[in-house]
Chain A
């Protein structure tokens, strides 16, 4: 069979397009329609116009979940950036067991988030956790990692950093290996110190990677769900109620699918705004 050449590109694109239409475009349009409806799955959809948006602005938990998610990002992104970059700088040197160490740091990335959350919940346990046992042995006070409003979100941020740092470490390693040696050689000839080389060569050259890490961390931060779901259930006193956890509660606990879709759209708009600002700031510095 001889195909008309004009159709060949479309045929080749068809698997992607079909997937894209069914799994991206259709849910997106359906969610948009849902924002204007009340729907609990078992009953027919009921048109309610902009009532979901009206509720959103007066919803105390919506604002708390935004505040918590932003707080998580403020702790998580710099922490992630510094640790991943620091480790990448060390593991980019010619040191012993370099390959093993790289694999070791990457391991938490591939382990299930649920498993890691359960393990860390045990580590953080106020009464029987290993960390608190060590603190008591060393004559320190126990830390209420997950049962204190001040400690809970930073504790989750530390755990999330531990889990994801391997991935960003790989990105930084790629970035570091793409910096031409000639730049460092020229700087050395000019008598630059290690700090000057790091500040004036490494950081500017890594700018696209830093931007990528910041954007990916922000997106991942807004997807924060498994950790609070498993470790705290959103408590104590809603201090770890993240945007995703709140959407999940509305959709799958309370069957308010229209309102959950409204929340999801609103969070997506906020995320888009944050990423745009980040992009502007970081690219400006470049």
Chain B
């Protein structure tokens, strides 16, 4: 029995001991799992490893429901990588407060380097509550509206909608019953109607940012600062859209329906261009326009929501200076060109369309130019630990007011503010 116990304890020791190899002179880098981003990361890591003594070990982020969930699990298990490049900005504050992220402006020259690359406006918008920077703005999918040019022509819409009135007028013409069976079969647009918090980034939040000239939900001091007037205008617009049936109250499984010519417009990022190529619907004559605003006289610049993915260095990294050197390598001009070529995603770079290195690329890929222009006029999600819950509440009010029309926009915004106050202060 004694021997058996010893065997058992030995087995337990073997099973529980950390068998992870320790690479003293290497950095661990997690990238996104999608094939294009993995291809890009592999290429860049190979290039880096050829010329540097401190090697980088690349690994796609482990499988999970979402990358945020995996990062949380890695923090709990103390297995975070040194560098991570698919970081969702909404999570930064939570990780910063818990002491998991490396402060980038504590590295000599890092802040100047990033301001030079992205511009003051963008860098400042990513600073944390304590006014320090913990993330590198890397790439962005600016949200715009894709439209089917033939569809517009066929239905007599000759003007690109700029204001809400333009949009509603166009939507009325673009929504119709083709086979005269009494049911609409073509719509002006479509949005997922389920009350899912992240779906509101692409309708409410994009329209709110545009209408407010670049405001987000929180001010610089981290105080919830919703502009009631603007929010009510956005809610009112979508309430009219659903009341008039310009967007269907349903959920289509096989997106995007703009490719099937069922809908005339689609609120999207540059990913739709890759989808068109993937589904080989190159005969679709499409264009992009900016998110409409209530009144053009009050909006000087057309901002929109930017779906950002950033790079962070974790505090578990024992070579932060080397990690920063690698991060700098990931965002060089040449690396950014590879990012554009391989993934068709827009690097956060202020001089993108003027830089001689990128001009030939954009000459070949003209459909990406609107996104490159829009990229510098984007706002991300505020980095507040309760941000998901706040967007969930926006979704609840959105559903009640805009989709099912059981509340007025004024009541919905008033209820939203009460609930957000509860989330931020009492829960």
The total of chain A residues at the interface (CB under 8 A) is 36
| A266 in the interface (beta carbon within 8 A) | no
| B249 in the interface (beta carbon within 8 A) | yes
Contacts of A236 in B (CB 8 A): 193, 399, 403-404
Q: Could you say which of B90-98, B338-346, B375-383 contacts chain A?
A: B90-98
Majority DSSP secondary structure for residues of A touching B: loop
Whether A234 contacts B195 in the complex (CB less than 8 A), given A125-B251, A136-B181, comes out as yes
> Which residue of chain B has the shortest Cβ distance to A1 in the bound complex?
B3
Contact A121 B98 (CB under 8 A): no
| A93 in the interface (beta carbon within 8 A) | no
Digitize A251-269: 1 where CB-to-B-CB distance is under 8 Å, 0 elsewhere. 0111110010000000000
Digitize A204-246: 1 where CB-to-B-CB distance is under 8 Å, 0 elsewhere. 0000000000000000000000000000111111100000000
Contacts of B185 in A (CB 8 A): 127
Contacts of A150 in B (CB 8 A): none
Contact B4 A254 (CB under 8 A): no
Contacts of A1 in B (CB 8 A): 3-4
| B69 in the interface (beta carbon within 8 A) | yes
Contact B69 A252 (CB under 8 A): yes
Complex CA–CA separation, A253 to B396 (angstroms): 15
Give the residue of B69, B399, B427 whose beta carbon is less than 8 angstroms from that of A235.
B399
CB of A229 to closest CB in B, whole Å: 10
The total of chain B residues at the interface (CB under 8 A) is 42
Contacts of A66 in B (CB 8 A): none
Contacts of A7 in B (CB 8 A): 1
CB of B71 to closest CB in A, whole Å: 8
| A32 in the interface (beta carbon within 8 A) | no
Contact B250 A42 (CB under 8 A): no
Complex CA–CA separation, A125 to B193 (angstroms): 13
> Which residue of chain B has the shortest Cβ distance to A255 in the bound complex?
B72
Could you list some 12 contacts between A and B, CB below 8 A? A3-B1, A41-B76, A55-B426, A125-B253, A127-B185, A136-B183, A147-B193, A233-B194, A236-B404, A254-B388, A254-B392, A256-B427
Chain B residues in the interface with A (C-beta under 8 A) = 1, 3-4, 65, 69, 72-73, 75-76, 94-95, 97-98, 100, 181, 183-185, 193-197, 248-253, 385-386, 388-389, 392, 396, 399-400, 403-404, 406, 426-427
List 4 additional A-B contacts (Cβ < 8 Å) besides A41-B72, A42-B98, A55-B427.
A11-B4, A42-B100, A126-B248, A254-B389
